[in-house]
Amino acid sequence: MAVRECLHGIFQANLRGGFLACNPAMARICGYDSPEHLSQKVIRLREQLFCKAAEFDQIRQELLDQGSLSARETTLQRADFTPVPVAITLLRRPDLGPEVVEPLWQISLKGSRPGRNWNS
């Protein structure tokens, strides 16, 4: 399966809770041994995945209002509590639940996209 071999973190999640599914790259980005370990440990995205709850709140509201966002820069928190800067692309899926986001949330480590200067 291509998602399992992808270098970018991809996952499906409920904005009111945690992960519904994720790939190995997402687990690695977040400092976990496996997708299962990440899904078991991070049950509240707002408090356990995002470094700043206010950033999560802004992203959540934008998704609820506009339905998607693209290449949004934010900072996630790894298992060891160190920050990891990322760019995130999200699509809300109301057909799957009121706050379920697209099965392909993409998390890219800053600097991993060719042609993008993350320091400017």
Does a structural domain hold residue 116? no
Q: What is the CATH number of the domain that holds 55?
A: 3.30.450.20
Does a structural domain hold residue 117? no
Q: What is the mean pLDDT of each run of 10 residues along the chain (120 residues)?
A: 61 91 92 96 96 95 91 93 91 84 58 39
Does a structural domain hold residue 118? no
Does a structural domain hold residue 120? no
Return phi, psi of residue 58, to 5°: -65, -45
Does a structural domain hold residue 115? no
Residue 108: predicted pLDDT:
60
Query: pTM of the full predicted structure?
Result: 0.78
Return phi, psi of residue 86, to 5°: -140, 165
Does a structural domain hold residue 119? no
Does a structural domain hold residue 30? yes
- Determine the structural domain holding residue 100 and report its residue range: 2-109
Please count the structural domains in the chain.
Answer: 1
Does a structural domain hold residue 114? no
